[in-house]
Amino acid sequence: MNTLDRYILRQFLLNFVILFAVMTLLILMLDFIMQLDEFVGRAKYLEHTGFQAFVTTMLTAADFYGPNI
């Protein structure tokens, strides 16, 4: 395998990994936005307000998306 082949293969794999990461994050963010009201509803159910509600919402989202990542 000569130098040009290694360069092309490295560029292809780098672009593939970057594209895969971007597409995965895009899908997760769109799903997060679509389900945001359910995450906020959990904070309202626990009667949290202000910063505590924000933290509860983010922790609930992290618990939900942790296994997906």
Query: For residue 20, what are the CA distances in angstroms to 29, 36, 61?
Result: 14, 24, 22
- Residue 18 vs residue 68, higher pLDDT: 18
Quick one: how far is CA 5 from the chain centroid? Answer: 34
Share of the chain residues as helix, strand and coil, in percent rounded to the nearest 5: 85, 0, 15
- Rounded Cα distance between 34 and 48, Å, is 22
Which pLDDT score, from 0 to 100, does residue 68 have? 73
Look at residue 5 in the predicted model and tell me its pLDDT: 92
pLDDT tens string 5-64: 999 999 999 999 999 999 999 998 998 899 888 888 877 777 777 888 888 888 888 888
pTM here?
0.65
The whole-angstrom separation of Cα 40 and Cα 18 is 31
Q: Which of 56, 65, 63 is nearest to 33 (CA)?
A: 65
